[in-house]
Amino acid sequence: MLLPTFFRSVEEDYYHLKQHVQLWDVACERQIEVSGPDAQALLQLVIPRDLSKLRAGQCIYTPIVDQDGMVLNDPLTIKLDDERFWVSIADSDIGLLLKGLALGSQMRARVHEPDVSPLAVQGPKAVLLMQRLFGAEIANLKFFRAKQFEFRNHDLWISRSGYSKQGGYEIYLTPASLGEALWDDLMNAGQDLEVRAGCPNLIERIEGGLLSYGNDMTSANTLAECTLDKYFDIDEAPLCIGYAALKREQLDGGPARQVRMLRIDGDRVPACIDPWPLYTPSAPAGQVTSAAWSPDLGENVAIGMVEAAYWDLGRVLNLSCADGSRRTATVKGLV
Amino acid sequence: MLLPTFFRSVEEDYYHLKQHVQLWDVACERQIEVSGPDAQALLQLVIPRDLSKLRAGQCIYTPIVDQDGMVLNDPLTIKLDDERFWVSIADSDIGLLLKGLALGSQMRARVHEPDVSPLAVQGPKAVLLMQRLFGAEIANLKFFRAKQFEFRNHDLWISRSGYSKQGGYEIYLTPASLGEALWDDLMNAGQDLEVRAGCPNLIERIEGGLLSYGNDMTSANTLAECTLDKYFDIDEAPLCIGYAALKREQLDGGPARQVRMLRIDGDRVPACIDPWPLYTPSAPAGQVTSAAWSPDLGENVAIGMVEAAYWDLGRVLNLSCADGSRRTATVKGLV
């Protein structure tokens, strides 16, 4: 899954995102449609949250786990109606997992990738811009709710959501042939709002504690290691295949390591492509998986996986950066 | 899945591959390990070939299908022992499909991605080079057979196989830490053989009729459309979930379109990134999915999906290339 990392520069984009509004073409964030009488039951098999009270038009953040409680993805799932869901996947092909699961369990559920291409509209002026195209009513759409709005005689699903802390919407474009019209209409309508092309911003998402699947967490991590055990409904989700493993991890005293926000000392860190090791004079202490200089905070913000013995607030750890520099990283707390 | 497309130029690499020997780092071609008492039964669910007679040390080309007979991948599968298989996948995450299938069907099979990185040694001098590192005996390894050979006190699985028609081997490197030693030893041992870094070569694989998953065939194609129905053992593989759909397609008179080799007239074609439409004066006739100028044949060789009405040998179709040029394409036959 390939996404741009910036349009002008990561910092220019960062300031702009926090002040104005951006269009993010995140069509690579494929939608997996799960439909049929057993659609919800199928999803419940890999989602540790209780889905039984989810209503049509609701969005839900849904870590996806295997039988060992390892995290395979962390999509947003939208319930379109009682027998139809869209799963907006992060970087692993959950469509194939669900397809295998449906076939193996002989559930009455169809899994396919519809012609739906998400476009995120993010930033403090997102509401203003969206109202111009979709009407005043869209301001009333609550966070993590989805509804259909008309665009050029087509009904498009739109949710109040997005991978930033600046607020905004995600438009689920279909058919793809409407793409240029939607893009151009939003660009034209937002000229005085300084609308621009953008993309998920490294600095803003680290500041906001938004984890990136494939970087800050992988299939080698348990739900609790990713601090996502807050989404484990231990009393409500026994149907999830990861239930026994997740319960055992909880009863056994929790995870051996966990994601933490960190501050890295010194001036601007280099790009963190591969994880950087954290250590004490006597032992490995974890790794930094995302890092960037934050202009607003005037410090290097980071996310990392820290061993339990060293994850308490204020703990100072040694860090070996990709450029060979030795620094310290201070634990700032949970994401 | 990202792979280099050439090292010097596609043509230089092509000549070299046909004369000498190349090392291809195809570590991105991940190995999926399926193990446990039900490992073979699990694989049989998605493979339309009869696996019951497969013996340890044998390789088998295994199209993978879903319940509609659509092709989800076309890996080489190696049987290491009765309860352990490696699946060398093309570009789709079959590990997740198999994982879902194992969980849903409650089979006693474990699916994971081991620390195995394939290195292909391809070209007419591959046998000579491999003998220098692994001993004279490796020349006796038959096509599509695999065996363990020693390298620096580790036993490495090696198969006689590869994604070219020039012959050669695939080395399944583990652990990854041996990678540089293996590469350097092969490079040093092969200096007088003109060994070089290489990669699957576009011209050579089109000439040889080697299909590329994601290009010449996708999950939108049935097994027969990909001409892979020759691998459907209709009397032997009723356990495959695609069995009913594949049988129906056969009884209903076969596929509506099918892969064909084509010759494109005129001078050198541009790069074929997206498919090029094939058509007659009155109707669409299919699409070209791979194309390149072949220096040895002195013509543009191509692979495409052609509608049944137009796929007979010698048929001339119109073609619209990416550069806007109008050409003709002639059907040369099956791959």
pLDDT in tens, A247-263: 999 999 899 999 999 99
Query: Rounded mean pLDDT of B26-42?
Result: 95
Query: Is the predicted pLDDT of residue B237 greater than 80, yes or no?
Result: no
Query: Rounded mean pLDDT of A321-331?
Result: 95
Q: Choose among A125, A128, A133: nearest CA to A188.
A: A133
pTM more than 0.90: yes
First to last CA, chain B: 24
Q: What is the pLDDT of residue A238?
A: 85
**Kind of pairing between the strands at A316-320 and A326-333:** antiparallel
- 3-state SS of chain A is CCCCCCCCCHHHHHHHHHHCCEEEECCCCCEEEEECCCHHHHHHHHCCCCCCCCCCCEEEECCEECCCCEEEECCEEEEEECCEEEEECCCCCHHHHHHHHHHHHCCCCEEECCCCEEEEEECCCHHHHHHHHHCHHHHHCCCCEEEEEEECCEEEEEECCCCCCCCEEEEEECCHHHHHHHHHHHHHHCHHHCCEEECCCHHHHHHCCCCCECCCECCCCECCCCCCHHHCCCCCCCCCCCHHHHHHHHHCCCCCEEEEEEEECCCCCCCCCCCEEEECCCCEEEEEEEEEEECCCCEEEEEEEEEHHHCCCCCEEEEECCCCCEEEEEEEECC
Q: What is the pLDDT of residue A28?
A: 87
pLDDT in tens, B276-331: 999 999 999 999 999 999 999 999 999 999 999 999 999 999 999 989 999 999 99
| A237 confidence band (pLDDT: 50, 70, 90) | confident
Question: Residues of B with CB below 8 A from A32's CB?
Answer: none
Q: What is the pLDDT of residue B334?
A: 95
What number of C-beta contacts closer than 8 Å exist between A and B? 65
Q: What is the pLDDT of residue A1?
A: 75
Q: What is the pLDDT of residue A29?
A: 86
Q: Which residues of B touch A (CB under 8 A)?
A: 45, 66-67, 72, 92-94, 96-107, 241
Q: What is the pLDDT of residue A58?
A: 98
Contact B105 A102 (CB under 8 A): no
| A233 confidence band (pLDDT: 50, 70, 90) | confident
Tokens of A298: 């005037």
Question: Residues of B with CB below 8 A from A103's CB?
Answer: 45, 66-67, 100-101, 104-105, 241
Q: What is the pLDDT of residue A293?
A: 98
Q: Choose among A194, A168, A167, A170: nearest CA to A182.
A: A170
Q: Choose among A156, A103, A292: nearest CA to A215.
A: A292
Distance from CA of A106 to the nearest CA of B (A): 8
Contact A101 B106 (CB under 8 A): no
Distance from CA of A102 to the nearest CA of B (A): 7
